[in-house]
Chain A
Amino acid sequence: MPDRFDQQSLNAFYQQESRRVLATLIRLLGDFDLAEDAMQEAFTAAWHQWPQAGIPANPYSWLVSTGRFKAIDLLRKRSRLQARETAWLEQQELLSDAENFAEPTGFIEDDRLRLIFTCCHPALSKEARVALTLREVCGLTTEAIARTFLVTPSTLAQRIVRARQKIRTANIPYEIPDQTIFAERLQSVLQVIYLVFNEGYSSLLPAAAGTPDLASEAIRLTRLLHELHTDDEINGLLALMLLQESRRATRVTENGDLILLEDQDRSLWNAELIGEGVSRVQEAWAAGNPGFYSLQAAIAALHAEAASAQDTDWHEISGIYTLLLNRYPSPVIALNRAIAVAMHEGAQAGIDLITPLIERELANYHYAYAARAKLYRQCGNTDAAKADYGKALNLSDREAEKAFLQAQLRAL
């Protein structure tokens, strides 16, 4: 809470408190749009009143209470009140303003968790889930999110409006899912967060002015989620992102060219993030049933702890990939496993595993050709390597990757 009313402390206070206030107002008002307007009005009132009247003992309760009265005003102002809303209004006015939200802290935290689960509800499109989460939970502006995803602000605003409409019309409940579906719904939440992270992480350029660093946003969001609800998979995802983030500065040259994991300068990896990531992996595995993200985090931890690519425990890594593949079958995981196997059993073993994947599911996946090309080169089969790099080049659509593949071809 700011003790002085300078702009910076006010902004910080808004950043910190507005999402909690919004989450509770959505629960009380049952309407995202109304809650957002009411929240803005409550903060405006605070900026006017607090400098004279002093900061209330419980600013959160003050803001929620003010927001609720502002919502009633807003509903009154809307000229044609529908019968249902009028009834609601009367009921609200009968309630004394103190009780409904002034529950113990646990309730506030539940409201934030509710907000996350509602924004990430699988009945919304993936784009809508990402946009809504960044807007409502992280508090990013529509303009900043639009810039990050290279869409116009009006397109993104439309996406958010439609999502809010679907929440209201289809009656997506504002609730923490019950035990029977919690794990399944949590997957949707984690998926949204990891999408946000990858959007930030895979961008090879530093975040432009005015756009949020999505990788950091995703980590912040996961930390919040972990505070609100203890779960091994949340911890696993946090570990995975911290370990990937620890290498972010070393994965691109100054010219924007990709640097492979084995060629990165390991002395520049962020030791602090690695330390936290590794201990979180251990925590996540301690329960004995590591899930999708915890398994991947363990692989990332083995990379992070190795002094060099050669010193990496490839045997252990391919073992974890086998576990992953058994529980979450996917051709891309099979490809990663093949690469790990090649590192300790030799290039030919890797080629034997990759070839059937290319013949079936991965015929148009450029990473598969690039990976096999490298193994062919190790075997001395230059012609086959050239052919595979050529295919990868044709299939790739990212400039940095094309430049990398062209350099590989020239080196042959």
Chain B
Amino acid sequence: MKYLCLVYANENELHSLPDSPQDSECMAYATALHESGVLVAGEALEPVRTATTVRVRNNELLITDGPFAETKEQLAGFYLIEAKDLNHAIRKAAGIPPARVGSIEIRPVRELQTD
């Protein structure tokens, strides 16, 4: 089944801590996940200050500057993976390099009923 691994970290520290991963290391991990058939999709995100939030209320479009939630840690990227079960997903998430400086939230993907 599919799991979304959300990478959260404090943006200001993400690249400046002694344990911070370099882009090349993140690329290498994503490539390895892809080659082993685990990675469905994954991207790093531009910083939160580039975010725009959209809501529709009473048919009216509301647009606000910034992320959905102001938090100490920000969504920095995501991996959509195909894993056997939660243990498998945890193992793969633990290998995501920013896990050392931030947190990885693992969310099972809900399969929508189509019929």
**Which single member of A121, A169, A177, A181 contacts B108 (CB below 8 Å)?**
A169
**A170 at the binding interface (Cβ < 8 Å):** yes
- For chain B residues 85-115, which have a beta carbon within 8 Å of chain A? 85-87, 90-91, 106, 108
With the chains together, A181 CA to B87 CA distance in Å?
A: 10
**A228 at the binding interface (Cβ < 8 Å):** no
- For chain A residues 105-142, which have a beta carbon within 8 Å of chain B? 121, 123
**A363 at the binding interface (Cβ < 8 Å):** no
**B51 at the binding interface (Cβ < 8 Å):** no
With the chains together, A175 CA to B1 CA distance in Å?
A: 17
State the majority secondary structure of interface residues on B: mixed
Question: Please, which residues of chain A bring their CB within 8 A of the CB of B108?
Answer: 169-171
Question: Please, which residues of chain A bring their CB within 8 A of the CB of B55?
Answer: none
**A172 at the binding interface (Cβ < 8 Å):** yes
**B84 at the binding interface (Cβ < 8 Å):** yes
Question: What's the minimum C-beta distance from A166 to chain B, rounded to whole angstroms?
Answer: 9
With the chains together, A171 CA to B1 CA distance in Å?
A: 9
Question: Please, which residues of chain B bring their CB within 8 A of the CB of A171?
Answer: 1, 85-86, 108
Question: What's the minimum C-beta distance from A82 to chain B, rounded to whole angstroms?
Answer: 9
Cβ-closest chain B residue relative to A180: B91
Q: Give per-residue flags for A145-177: 1 if the beta carbon is below 8 A from chain B beta carbons, else 0.
A: 000000000000000000000000111110101
With the chains together, A169 CA to B108 CA distance in Å?
A: 7
Q: How large is the interface on A (under 10, 10 to 19, 20 to 34, 35 or more residues)?
A: 10 to 19
Q: How large is the interface on B (under 10, 10 to 19, 20 to 34, 35 or more residues)?
A: under 10
Question: Please, which residues of chain B bring their CB within 8 A of the CB of A173?
Answer: 84-87
With the chains together, A172 CA to B87 CA distance in Å?
A: 7
With the chains together, A84 CA to B82 CA distance in Å?
A: 20
With the chains together, A181 CA to B89 CA distance in Å?
A: 13
- For chain A residues 222-261, which have a beta carbon within 8 Å of chain B? none
Cβ-closest chain A residue relative to B107: A170
With the chains together, A331 CA to B38 CA distance in Å?
A: 42
With the chains together, A140 CA to B61 CA distance in Å?
A: 53
Q: Which of A123, A170, A173, A177 has the most CB of B within 10 A?
A: A170
With the chains together, A173 CA to B90 CA distance in Å?
A: 12
Question: Please, which residues of chain A bring their CB within 8 A of the CB of B84?
Answer: 173
Q: Do the beta carbons of B90 and A123 come within 8 Å of each other? A: yes
With the chains together, A67 CA to B55 CA distance in Å?
A: 50
Cβ-closest chain B residue relative to A82: B113
Question: Please, which residues of chain A bring their CB within 8 A of the CB of B91?
Answer: 181
Question: Please, which residues of chain B bring their CB within 8 A of the CB of A181?
Answer: 87, 91
Q: Give per-residue flags for B37-76: 1 if the beta carbon is below 8 A from chain A beta carbons, else 0.
A: 0000000000000000000000000000000000000000
Question: What's the minimum C-beta distance from A84 to chain B, rounded to whole angstroms?
Answer: 10
Cβ-closest chain B residue relative to A177: B87
With the chains together, A163 CA to B46 CA distance in Å?
A: 36
Cβ-closest chain B residue relative to A122: B90
Q: Do the beta carbons of A175 and B86 come within 8 Å of each other? A: no
Question: Please, which residues of chain A bring their CB within 8 A of the CB of B90?
Answer: 123
Q: Which of B84, B90, B91, B106 has the most CB of A within 10 A?
A: B90
- In order of increasing CB-CB distance, the 3 nearest A-B pairs are A173-B85, A171-B85, A172-B86
Which B residues form the contact surface with A (CB < 8 A)? 1, 84-87, 90-91, 106, 108
Q: List 16 A-B contacts (CB under 8 A).
A: A121-B86, A123-B86, A123-B90, A170-B86, A170-B108, A171-B1, A171-B86, A171-B108, A172-B85, A172-B87, A173-B84, A173-B85, A173-B86, A173-B87, A177-B87, A181-B87
